[in-house]
Amino acid sequence: MNDGEFEKRFLALINNQENPYHPLVWINGTPTIGKNTYIGGMSEINAKGASVNIGSNCDIASFVAINVADSHLRAIGVNDKIDFKNIIIENNVFIGSHSAVLGGSKIGHNSVVAAGSIVRGETIPPFSLAIGNPLIIKDGYYRKSKYKS
């Protein structure tokens, strides 16, 4: 069996679709992903029920979850529906490993989401650094002259 045949069988076995990033990147729905964007293995993009737009030249590390769906209220019996909200990630964004970007989030261009951070529907302005859980946004952090070459 050649590599291509193995990959197709493997993707069918794990119920995943072929993608240009990594065989262990799960993509559900039809997100829009710009040119020169990297998505690391074990990451998931769930665009079923709402849109996910990811710009060009982004770097999404391994183990990142980008998910438009929120079912926690249904799971605990408070509500009977799943809430779906769009996600926008502009150009030149870095999202660190083990982070989550949830429905309603907008990440402005040239921004960084630090590893392990949770973006819960916030708007992160361009050139910002977003850190932690709960999220702390350092607006304009990367506009400082020390980062310009």
Taking only the tens place, the pLDDT of each residue in 83-112 is 999 999 999 999 999 999 999 999 999 999
Q: Pick from 14, 120, 15: which is nearest to 66 by CA?
A: 120
Share of the chain above pLDDT 70, in %: 96
CA 114 to CA 98: how far, in whole Å? 9
> What confidence tens digit (pLDDT) does each residue in 14-57 have?
777 788 888 789 999 999 999 999 999 999 999 999 999 999 99
Distance CA 45, CA 65 (A): 6
Give the pLDDT confidence score for residue 117 in this predicted structure. 98
Residue 146 has pLDDT above 80, yes or no: no
Superfamily the domain 24-141 falls into: Hexapeptide repeat proteins (2.160.10.10)
Averaged pLDDT, 58-71: 98
Q: Which residues contact 113 (CB under 8 A, 6 or more apart)?
A: 93, 94, 95, 96, 99, 101, 107, 119, 124, 130
Task: Please state the pTM of the whole predicted model.
Answer: 0.90
